[in-house]
A and B are shown apart, each in its own frame.
Chain A
Amino acid sequence: MLKFWRNAEFVRHVRAELRPARAVTVAVVALFVCGLIWLSCWSFVQQDLENARNGFQRYGGEQWMARVAMLEKTAFHQTWLLFFQWVFAIQGVMVTLWSLFACAQSVSGERDRKTWDFQRATSLTSSELLVGKLIGEPILTYFLVLCLLPFTVVGGLVGGISFGGLVSAYLLMLVGSLFLGVCGLFLSTLLESGSRGITLLVGLAMYFLTAGSMGMANSGFPGVAAFSPLSGIIGLYSPNEPVFRRLPTLFGQPVPWLLLSVLLWVTFGSWIVLMLVRNLKRDYEEIRPLSRWQAVGCAAFLNFVLYAMVNPGRFGEAGSHELMSLMIGVNGLILFVIGLATLTPQERLRVWWRKRATGAGAMFSEDGLPWPWLALSAITAYALIVWGTLAWNKALPFEMKSLERAAVQLLVVLVFITRDVLFLQWCKLTHMSRPVFKGLMYLSLYYAAAVVLTVLFGRGSETNAMRVLSLLTPIGAANPEAEGFRFPASLYMGIALQAGAIAAIVAAIGGRMNRRLLAVASGD
């Protein structure tokens, strides 16, 4: 598998995309553009020099003379450095964007062209298909980068960038484009057809989310900023950028931005690769991103990574309190995503249901209802909250009551997420088209209605508003005045109400499961 140049899928892309005429055209155009950029850079530096000389002639003085002397001395290096910066940036943007979008249309495009079944019916393994598509789909851009590489290397070296710096920068570009490519491929497996609009929208969102994560550099989790490739290469452009001169930490130890970027992309990319290897050759209806144990592992991994990246200095006086509340919120999101990723297809759930009726189906089953796994993920998350709080105890001292409070908060979040995920599971058993999407829309409507009710009943009374919120939404758990287990009664009533809702949804799922199948019913 490592010999990717012999991978059948990769060779197919090379043959289709890099026919000699096209390759020569691309190389010539690239070199031409490269030449234009160099001339622009030269012109820019010369203009700067000219301006300095004019300034010296007009105003005279030491400062102007020193500036002219400095620019004359560095003009050559500056031209090449500027050239390197521009071409490297173009290479970076092109290779990452193209990698993301080419991969994002890969599998869905094959489904559209109806060639996908023929690939699935070959002996190529999921891993081989993954490697072939990941490197093969954006092959034209990789070729373009290779064409320009000698010039950027020369430009960078003449411009004063060390060889190590250049290698690191290109390593970052490569790993970043592979990471985005893997994300694109995953998106592509989830789309039944290659709808370009959706691909473009989601792809752009993913791209800007990744690039924009550098805004987290000043947050309580500065390491998250390393998701952005910009954090790793900003030193090449602006060595004195204050935010990025301060290194992020892992378990309190400073780590270079570039290393952390690579580390994050490789670890997160590995999870996506796992999902792809599991699902790439499956029929669309049978795609389930993670097994349930993997989902629990993924929840633990995400918690672990966040705790490793904590910057205790960014949390206020109530440090551990604030950190725990933040982690509960993050875990709500993680649990929901994991619930979505482990919804059971109707066919599998029906088989499990029958087994369960005969006493053979276990509660913790791959094909059973998702709620036991959500509970297990929440318990794991709580264990990690305890571990994380103890680990950061020196920097963020905590009281036992904080842990009690966190337990109640997590319980509330778990109950609401379980209700919502089971509702989506029920939607999957109906005849709705795009059941999960529609289910999400219904949930949005529900929460919007809850807010309206809160406004209606809570007019003039904040307490009443909190009661309604606690009954209908998990927001009540964020009550800042609660200590230990002592939350307002409405919160516990809310838990009981939602537990009832869960029981009702499970009964509705049972009703669907117990319906007779059409062909069997009419055939018997």
Chain B
Amino acid sequence: MIELIDLRKEYDNLVAVQDLNLTIPQGEIFGLIGPNGAGKTTTIRMACGLLLPTLGKAVVDRVDVAQEPERALRSIGYLSDFFAVYEDLKVWEYLDYFAHAYKVAESDIPARVTEVITQVSLEVKRDALIRGLSRGMKQRLGIARAIIHRPKVLLLDEPASGLDPKARLQLRNLLRSLCDQGTTILISSHILTELEGFCTSIGIMEKGRMVRSGRIEEVTAAEHLARDMRISWVGDFTAAVQGKLVGHAYVANVQLGADSGTFQFAGSEAEMAALLAELIGAGVRVKAFAEVKQTVEDLYMKLSKHEVM
């Protein structure tokens, strides 16, 4: 659904995005992660035609964005970290304007405006002037604008910055439901918890380059990353556990307490099961033995060099 082919952007004497190749299939929520200045915003702006790439191209829904921008933009909803709106319009007028601007069929517009207003919970403000809305409401209106034309692709550049926790939750739920309907979402953020449990794929950008990208499990597996494990037991078995873990071929960073501890395990699932069997065989009364699920933040911290331009 989104294809970035050898995409490159140069500013003055630096390369903001360096020969980026990325394919995001339909229905995916792709999290673009990286520090400020990594090239995330530039990538998203090129993907929606706001910036012309120096070289390469962005293709959205099989349309080259630079060649046929108006056609491509019908499939793209764009949301940035600022939610500037026309203060002198009413809420419904604002959405009606963008529905027309995105060339939504004239007969569908009134119903669509009502639908979107309901989706972002602004029903009571439908006829209110935008200048009278609170900041959070304006932000929700911005989200409504981005989805008014039922875009197949949503490009979201730090969309939750400045949103209160409730609005963040609403945004997350809205994006999930859009994803369920088949919308492809590319979302950038440097606040990693924002993307937690939400993205199906991630890409880590640094210095204009994609350091890693793919589905979260694939990225983890491809890197043969050690898994964080947690173990707890009943009774005085600290020494026994230590004996089994320390020196084990796949185990590292063992940290044990009186009745629990953590360690890193770099082996396969079968080898993990064998380790558990060994512990039980050694008489340890294991209460819990589980992998600590990696957060996006953990992944980022492991894969990134935290470099910026």
- Residue B229 is within 8 A (CB to CB) of chain A in the complex: no
- Residue A48 is within 8 A (CB to CB) of chain B in the complex: no
Contacts of B70 in A (CB 8 A): 123-125
Instruction: Produce 1/0 per residue, A97-127, CB < 8 A to B.
Output: 0000000000000000111011111111100
With A11-B97, A12-B97 as known contacts, state yes or no: A123 contacts B48, CB within 8 Å: no
- Residue B248 is within 8 A (CB to CB) of chain A in the complex: no
Minimum distance in angstroms from B69 CB to a CB of chain A: 7
Residues A121 and B100 in contact, CB atoms below 8 Å apart: no
- Residue A517 is within 8 A (CB to CB) of chain B in the complex: yes
Residues A123 and B97 in contact, CB atoms below 8 Å apart: no
- Residue A281 is within 8 A (CB to CB) of chain B in the complex: yes
- Residue A347 is within 8 A (CB to CB) of chain B in the complex: yes
* A515 and B101 alpha carbons, distance in the complex (Å): 43
Residues B86 and A519 in contact, CB atoms below 8 Å apart: no
A113, A283, A518, A523: the one within 8 Å of B50 (CB): A283
* A464 and B23 alpha carbons, distance in the complex (Å): 70
- Pick the most buried of A12, A17, A351: most chain B CB atoms within 10 A of its CB: A12
* A431 and B86 alpha carbons, distance in the complex (Å): 35
With A15-B89, A16-B88, A347-B10 as known contacts, state yes or no: A123 contacts B15, CB within 8 Å: no
Residues B52 and A118 in contact, CB atoms below 8 Å apart: no
With A121-B76, A283-B50, A286-B52 as known contacts, state yes or no: A347 contacts B101, CB within 8 Å: no
With A517-B14, A519-B14, A523-B18 as known contacts, state yes or no: A121 contacts B52, CB within 8 Å: no
Residues A124 and B101 in contact, CB atoms below 8 Å apart: yes
Minimum distance in angstroms from A344 CB to a CB of chain B: 13
Instruction: Produce 1/0 per residue, A285-329, CB < 8 A to B.
Output: 010000000000000000000000000000000000000000000
Contacts of A23 in B (CB 8 A): none
- Residue A522 is within 8 A (CB to CB) of chain B in the complex: yes
Residues A347 and B73 in contact, CB atoms below 8 Å apart: no
Considering only CB atoms and an 8 Å cut-off, how many residues of chain B contact the other chain?
43
Contacts of B52 in A (CB 8 A): 282-283, 286
Interface size class of A (residues with CB under 8 A): 35 or more
With A117-B80, A351-B54, A519-B18 as known contacts, state yes or no: A123 contacts B89, CB within 8 Å: no
Contacts of B48 in A (CB 8 A): 121
Residues B207 and A522 in contact, CB atoms below 8 Å apart: yes
Minimum distance in angstroms from B280 CB to a CB of chain A: 50
Minimum distance in angstroms from A335 CB to a CB of chain B: 28
Contacts of B299 in A (CB 8 A): none
- Residue A133 is within 8 A (CB to CB) of chain B in the complex: no
* A12 and B101 alpha carbons, distance in the complex (Å): 10
Closest residue of chain B to A6 (Cβ to Cβ) is B100
Residues A118 and B84 in contact, CB atoms below 8 Å apart: yes
* A123 and B145 alpha carbons, distance in the complex (Å): 13
Which positions 1-53 of chain A face chain B at CB distance < 8 Å? Answer: 8-9, 11-12, 15-17
Which positions 510-524 of chain A face chain B at CB distance < 8 Å? Answer: 515, 517-520, 522-523
* A119 and B80 alpha carbons, distance in the complex (Å): 13
Contacts of A431 in B (CB 8 A): 12
Residues A114 and B309 in contact, CB atoms below 8 Å apart: no
* A372 and B260 alpha carbons, distance in the complex (Å): 77
Minimum distance in angstroms from A286 CB to a CB of chain B: 6
Contacts of B50 in A (CB 8 A): 117, 120-121, 283
Residues A346 and B12 in contact, CB atoms below 8 Å apart: yes
Residues A283 and B98 in contact, CB atoms below 8 Å apart: no
* A114 and B145 alpha carbons, distance in the complex (Å): 15
* A348 and B309 alpha carbons, distance in the complex (Å): 21
- Residue B212 is within 8 A (CB to CB) of chain A in the complex: no
Closest residue of chain A to B148 (Cβ to Cβ) is A122
* A519 and B101 alpha carbons, distance in the complex (Å): 38
* A350 and B11 alpha carbons, distance in the complex (Å): 10
Residues A11 and B15 in contact, CB atoms below 8 Å apart: no
Residues A520 and B15 in contact, CB atoms below 8 Å apart: yes
Residues B309 and A519 in contact, CB atoms below 8 Å apart: yes
Contacts of B207 in A (CB 8 A): 519, 522-523
* A347 and B54 alpha carbons, distance in the complex (Å): 7
Contacts of B31 in A (CB 8 A): none
Which positions 11-67 of chain B face chain A at CB distance < 8 Å? Answer: 11-16, 18, 48-52, 54-55
Chain A interface residues toward B at CB < 8 A: 8-9, 11-12, 15-17, 113-115, 117-125, 281-283, 286, 346-348, 350-351, 431, 515, 517-520, 522-523
Q: Which 8 pairs between the two chains have the least Cβ-Cβ distance?
A: A8-B100, A122-B101, A114-B84, A518-B14, A519-B15, A16-B88, A121-B78, A115-B84
Between-chain CB contacts (< 8 Å), 21 pairs: A9-B101, A12-B86, A12-B93, A113-B84, A114-B84, A121-B76, A123-B71, A123-B101, A124-B101, A282-B52, A286-B52, A346-B12, A347-B54, A350-B54, A515-B13, A517-B14, A517-B15, A518-B15, A520-B18, A523-B18, A523-B207
Chain B interface residues toward A at CB < 8 A: 9-16, 18, 48-52, 54-55, 69-71, 73-74, 76, 78, 80, 82, 84-86, 88-90, 93, 97-98, 100-103, 145, 207-209, 309
